[in-house]
Amino acid sequence: MSAQTNGQDHGKPRRVILLSIPRSASHLLMRMLTLDHQPTFASHPPEGQDYFFMPAARIQMQLAQFKQDQHELTSEDKASLMEIYQSCASNMESFLNTAAAQGKSSFFKEHVALIKTPTNPTLFPDNFLLDLTPTFLIRHPAFSFASLYRVFMGVESTRELFGEHRLAVYQDLLSLRPVRNLYDWYRSQYEALGQRNGTEESDASMLPIVLDASDVIQHPKVVWEYAKLIGLNTTKVRSEWNAFTPEQFAAQPNEMVKVFARTLTTSTGLVKERAPVDVDIEVEAKKWREQWGEEVAKMLEDAVKEAMPDYEYLVSKRLRPS
């Protein structure tokens, strides 16, 4: 893949978006890239803070479950949602504009599930999406789905947010199809652009970047290669760090952040056991039965098997360590 990634000028500040799934080691990747020590980049979110569209997504998920159907939303509900989404978009625009005014590239992340819509790949307009350098971060669903269940169902704040609908909200997140749809959308747009410019469709510089969490953990050189591709200072990339002190951990903004980032904040480097090379879904399902019982294990196993074709498709497109 060339340094002129996704058709953007190498010397022009980039807008890099990390499009992730829940529990895909996105916090780990951002820590390895050491974005707060990259002087030519602005990054969001700071460690321990929300994605731009998380506030709107929380309200959206609450309303969707409590009202059961989008058509049941009142005009007040819809106006409130629109106001929240506009606020989120304004915050994102302010971040990007500030970075541009400073001559910096920007790096920000969103879970695809937070920005998807029923009819379009995302809630963003096409011209905005095409102005971004997209990176897709995926993880084997046997690990991401189970890890999400463990933390999502174990955090009291999700019970407070969603009440008896908490499991239904969780189940709505168990799919890689929105990620694949967005990847395919980008690929089709780049191929069309390549054809108009007389570029070969297979030109690697015109393809979205895909990273797999297993490679990030097991083969950290791939992070160095990725950093080089998007214009980061590769000497800042790291795989070791200091664990949080008890005071730093206690200062995290809320219970959910503490639970979701517990491994990262208490570790001093990559925990390779978190990313086994060989994955046997039947073996994992046996563990789930022991932990959570037959009903939950069956739900997870079915969801993982349904997601595997999309995962295998995406992982075949990933950036591989050389």
Query: 113-158 pLDDT, tens per residue?
Result: 989 988 888 999 999 999 999 999 999 999 999 999 998 887 877 8
Q: Could you tell me if residue 322 is inside a domain?
A: no
Q: Could you tell me if residue 256 is inside a domain?
A: yes
Over residues 286-296, the mean pLDDT reads 96
Q: Is the pLDDT of residue 210 over 70?
A: yes
Band of residue 242 on the pLDDT scale cut at 50, 70, 90: confident
pLDDT at 69: 54
Query: 163-206 pLDDT, tens per residue?
Result: 788 888 889 899 999 999 999 999 999 988 877 666 554 444 55
pLDDT at 70: 55
Report how far residue 222's alpha carbon sits from residue 212's, in angstroms, rounded to the nearest whole number.
10
Q: Is the pLDDT of residue 318 over 70?
A: yes
Q: Which residue has the higher pLDDT, 209 or 241?
A: 209
Q: Could you tell me if residue 320 is inside a domain?
A: no
Q: Token pair of 227, please? A: 């950093």
**Cβ–Cβ contacts within 10 Å for residue 197, how many?**
10
Q: How far is CA 298 from the centre of its chain?
A: 26
* Three-state DSSP state, 13: coil
* Three-state DSSP state, 53: coil
Angle between helices 75-101 and 54-66 (to 10 degrees): 160
| Total of domains in the chain | 1
Q: Is the pLDDT of residue 209 over 50?
A: yes
DSSP-derived secondary structure letter, 291:
H
pLDDT at 8: 45
Q: Is the pLDDT of residue 2 over 50?
A: no
Q: Could you tell me if residue 243 is inside a domain?
A: yes
Query: 86-113 pLDDT, tens per residue?
Result: 999 999 999 999 999 999 999 999 999 9
pLDDT at 29: 94
The set of residues, in sequence order, having a beta carbon less than 8 Å from that of 87 and lying 6+ positions away, is 55, 56
Q: Could you tell me if residue 74 is inside a domain?
A: no
Q: The CATH number of the domain where 123 resides is what?
A: 3.40.50
pLDDT at 186: 96
* Three-state DSSP state, 310: helix
Q: Which domain holds residue 106?
A: 5-59+89-315
pLDDT at 198: 61
Q: Could you tell me if residue 288 is inside a domain?
A: yes
Q: Which residue has the higher pLDDT, 198 or 56?
A: 56
The model carries a pTM of 0.89
Over residues 272-294, the mean pLDDT reads 92
Q: Could you tell me if residue 270 is inside a domain?
A: yes
Q: Could you tell me if residue 156 is inside a domain?
A: yes
Q: Is 89 exposed, middle or buried (0-12, 13-18, 19+ CB in 10 A)?
A: middle
